Amino acid sequence: MNDVAIPEGFRLHVHKGASYFQTLGDLYVRERPDGLVVIGLYVSPQHCNRLGIPHGGMLATLADTALGMGLHLARRTRATMVTVNLSLDYLAAAKVGEWLEAHVTPRRLGRQLAFGDCVLRVGEREVLRATGIFSVVSRAAHVTESDG
């Protein structure tokens, strides 16, 4: 979707970390006054299922990514977090070519756990609502015996 104009205020987000997130394609971020970000992307055919609408797993990945990013930024620490729980409500379908945004609201930021909400929307139309719980993990916890 390189020939499509990106909405004002958004800039390309450089993926840091695992290449899995590359499956989402180009993600864009717009900084909010509170230091958090809105994540946006154009829905493309690669995001869709055989019905021609975004696959539920893709929407879940976007919500999970946005929540993790948003809660990490809200904590204002370098601590790494992992998803403990992700609950999703699919509300409407998006279409190829539509601009989809992820908006995160942190709800509680504890020492070990962070809670937040995410809404994916096209304009004012809500496509998905998610709630997530994330846990702070130590760097040493990143490598397990099964990894080595």
pLDDT in tens, 84-131: 999 999 999 999 999 999 999 999 999 999 999 999 999 999 999 999
- Cite the beta strand spans of 32-94 per DSSP E: 37-42, 80-90
pLDDT reading at 137 higher than 50: yes
Bridge-based pairing of strands 99-109 and 37-42 is antiparallel
pLDDT for the residue 147: 44
pLDDT for the residue 19: 64
Quick check: helix, strand or coil at residue 67? Answer: helix
Structural domains in the chain plus CATH codes: 11-142 (3.10.129.10)
